[in-house]
Structure 1
Amino acid sequence: MTGEPASPGRRMHSEPSAQTPGTIQSIILLFGFLAFVFTFAGLGGYVTTANIESWYATLQKPSLTPENWVFPVVWNFLYFLMGLSGWLVWRTAGGFAAGGAPLAIYGAQVMLNFSWSVVFFGLHSPGGALIEIFVLLAAIAANIMAFWRVNRLAALLLLPYLAWSLFATYLTAMVWLLNK
């Protein structure tokens, strides 16, 4: 390390050598991360909405099941946090190549999140969705741990998502038990 302080545009020798993305690129990628997660939110919502008034309405549900309007409100907030979280890791790492494994885990858990909607609502399979959500929970936990090593705020932003997914696990398990 040199004895002089780092200027805003220069990194200290002890920091990673990845270059910080420029402002315009960073803003574009923030919207890219948000578009990524909200695309899968929209696809999952499409599968879900098509079954709310028909199949889902006929199921017995546990007493802690929120009103239907609560789900899109909570999920939109969580998807926003997920998009912001992924962007923070991309930005901190200095790009996709440098973000490697943590961003790959992130992408996988977003796909698993979408898959739950397909299995539960699209295939009408609460039992299959219960198995799938356990895999999703493991992916979310792995995502948090991987992000923690890169950007702690990014990891912390995923904690509400993990908490809601644990609640969703309870709901899924109870729907399966009450309707088998």
Structure 2
Amino acid sequence: MKFRPLAFIINIAITLSIGALGGWATATSVETWYKTINKPSFNPPDWLFGPVWTSLYILIGIAAYLVWTKRDTITHFPRTVAIYLIQLILNLAWSFIFFYLHEIGFALAEIILLLIIIVINALMFYKIHKWAGLLFIPYILWVSFASVLNYNIFILN
């Protein structure tokens, strides 16, 4: 596999762009509404979310690049891309639903769907390129934790 720097950068830029849009939605409420709602004792400090998500978006972009390098050998490449884009859209949507719209219950339902699609995406990526699938493990773990956090915030509010 020959390294393609432009494709590598584009794949990471796509995920970081999604993260930036989600960050904007989050920023609309993190210092106002989010500070006023009840949160569980295990809620991480606000400063932790940015570095974690940035790291995850980079890993997701690398995974996408690894799959992209095998695109000519994948008979179901359009379906793979569709699942990948759906999980990115759901990822972005959660930030808007939770932080911008303040719909905690709807965000909970949406994050469960997101987690299911992430696992499907990871399995599809794994079948294409082992490391692409494995790079999704931190993402799955973090969104699982975020789901538990979302659930507890829903219960507390």
- Shared fold (TM-score greater than 0.5)? yes
1:69-148 equivalent positions in 2, closer than 5 A: 69-94=47-72, 99-148=77-126
Tell whether the 8 Å contact from 1:96 to 1:103 is kept in structure 2 after alignment.
no
Tell me what 1:43 maps to: 21
Q: How many residue pairs align between the two structures?
A: 157
Partners of 2:91 and 2:75 lie apart in 1 by 24
2:152 maps to 1:174: yes
* Residue ranges of structure 2 left out of the alignment (5+ in a row): none
1:96 Cα shift? 8.9
Tell whether the 8 Å contact from 1:105 to 1:143 is kept in structure 2 after alignment.
yes
Tell whether the 8 Å contact from 1:89 to 1:103 is kept in structure 2 after alignment.
no
Partners of 1:95 and 1:119 lie apart in 2 by 37
2:36 maps to 1:58: yes
Partners of 2:75 and 2:97 lie apart in 1 by 32
**CA offset digits 1:40-62 (Å, max 9, x no partner):** 10000001011011000001100
| Larger Rg over CA atoms | 1
Question: What percentage of residue pairs aligned between the two structures are identical?
Answer: 36
**CA offset digits 1:20-73 (Å, max 9, x no partner):** 6x65xx211111111111111000000101101100000110011000000011
2:132 aligned to which of 150, 154, 170 = 154
Query: Comparing 96-105 with 113-122, which one deviates more in the overlay?
Result: 96-105
Q: Which amino acid aligns with 1:150?
A: I
Q: Which amino acid aligns with 2:102?
A: H
1:103 Cα shift? 2.0
1:97 Cα shift? 8.0
TM-score (norm 1): 0.83
Partners of 2:74 and 2:7 lie apart in 1 by 11
Secondary structure of the equivalent of 1:69?
A: helix
**CA offset digits 1:81-130 (Å, max 9, x no partner):** 00000010010233898632222211110110000000000100110100
Secondary structure of the equivalent of 2:70?
A: helix
Partners of 2:73 and 2:124 lie apart in 1 by 15
Q: Which amino acid aligns with 1:112?
A: L
2:7 aligned to which of 29, 44, 47 = 29
TM-score (norm 2): 0.95
Q: Which amino acid aligns with 1:156?
A: L
2:142 maps to 1:164: yes
Partners of 1:80 and 1:95 lie apart in 2 by 24
For the aligned residue pairs, the C-alpha RMSD in angstroms reads: 1.6
